[in-house]
Amino acid sequence: MQDAKTGSPSPTLGIESNSTAPNIEHMPIYPSAQQVEVETHMTYPPWSKTSFQTTQPYLELYAYYKETLSNQGWLLINESTEQPALSYFWTDKSGVVITNFNLSLSFADLGPAGTSVHLFVRRWPDPTKVSAYPGATQIEVNYRKNEFDSWERVTTYKTGAVPEEVETYYKSRLLPPDWGWSHTADTITSAEGLKFYYFRGENAQGVDLNGRLQIIAREETADQTNVELRVNGAEIQPPSPVAPK
């Protein structure tokens, strides 16, 4: 087993969302849009598709969305003017919102009729932002190789709560449709603990981007519980070492 210290003082705390997060059911629509259609699927992962037409030329729509989405905190990751399209990523750097979003926009020039626009957005939880139990102490984050030789992010901490309270805390917050829960593990104190899953599908190279969060708790004394959060998936990698100054 290989271990790699992160050097971070603690993982991000806070897992409730707030009003700054995008709403996949209400993506920004151009003011003069016509024939608006919204299709939403709250599945694994949740996604929505918004389509509309407008009499405005596509270059005006292109500029409108670049400005609007930037103001809403979306990060532009790819753009094409040859076949008009934009791709964005959204994440909460403060760690309060643990859900990430991808957004793709395509524009079709209809000539004198104007422009048709299609927005496709999906969201998925960021397991590395799942919080420790409130008031937790001695929080440590490490990366290690598991039995399949893939990286696993392990967060450990201590809490004065009993295991049953910790279990209730996570079950009440890691909810569908963002999280799936395996009922094969009875309790957080069982050998495998609680298992939560999230789904993202595949990337352009066909790599499965789904992942798993395992939570195990052991009562060390009458007033102290040790908790371990194990995250694994294709996107889990130890951070790059910081070069010395």
The reply to whether 104 and 133 lie within a common domain is: no
pLDDT tens column, 51-82: 999 999 989 999 999 999 999 999 999 999 88
- Pair 12, 132 in one domain: yes
pLDDT of residue 6: 38
Instruction: Kindly report, residue by residue over 87-108, the tens digit of the pLDDT.
Output: 999 999 887 888 999 999 999 9
114 and 152 part of one domain = no
- Residue 227 phi/psi, 5-degree rounding, is -125, 140
Residue 160 lies in a domain: yes
The CA distance from 125 to 18, in Å, is: 14
pLDDT of residue 97: 86
Query: Is the peptide bond prior to 177 cis by the omega test (within 30 degrees of 0)?
Result: yes
| pLDDT at 244 (0 to 100) | 60
C-alpha distance across the termini of the chain, in Å: 30
Boundary (domain end) residue, out of 76, 98, 125: 125
In which domain, by residue range, is 74 found? 34-125
As a whole number of angstroms, the distance between CA 211 and CA 100 comes to 14
- How much is the average pLDDT of 106-111? 94
Sheet holding 34-41, edge to edge: 34-41, 47-54, 115-125, 99-109, 85-90, 75-80
CATH of residue 226's domain is 3.30.310
Mean pLDDT of the chain, nearest integer: 87
d(CA 107, CA 53): 10
Task: Choose the final residue of a domain: 103, 125, 147.
Answer: 125
Chain segment 7-46, per-residue pLDDT in tens: 333 333 333 444 578 999 999 999 999 999 999 999 888 9
Q: In the prediction, which pLDDT does 14 show?
A: 34
Q: Would you state the structure tokens that stand for residue 236, as one six-digit string?
A: 């889990």
Q: Which of 231, 160, 147 is nearest to 193 (CA)?
A: 231
Specify if 45 maps to a domain: yes
Do both 138 and 180 map to the same domain? yes
d(CA 40, CA 82): 29
Separation of alpha carbons 3 and 153, rounded Å? 10
Q: Is the pLDDT of residue 116 over 90?
A: yes
pLDDT at 185: 56
Q: Say if 193 falls within a structural domain.
A: yes
Q: Tell me whether residue 188 is in a domain.
A: yes
Percentage of the chain lying above the pLDDT 90 cut: 63
CATH number at residue 79: 3.30.530.20
Q: Of 62, 93, 125, which residue constitutes the final position of a domain? A: 125
Q: Do residues 52 and 7 both lie within one domain?
A: no
Count the Cβ atoms, other than its own, within 10 Å of residue 242.
7
Closest CA to 231 of 116, 142, 123, 139: 142
pLDDT band at 200 (very low <50, low <70, confident <90, very high): confident
The reply to whether 29 falls in a domain is no
For residue 80, the surrounding DSSP H or E stretch is strand 75-80
Residues 38 and 93 both lie in one domain: yes
Beta strands in 81-235 (DSSP E): 85-90, 99-109, 115-125, 137-145, 151-159, 180-182, 194-198, 211-221, 224-233
For 127, 179, 186, 196, 197, the CA distances from 190, given in Å and listed in that order, are 21, 20, 6, 14, 18
CB 1 within 8 Å of CB 78 = no
* Whether residue 54 is found in the same domain as residue 110: yes
pLDDT at 243: 57
Residue 242 has a pLDDT of 56
Overall domain count for the chain: 2
pLDDT of residue 195: 92
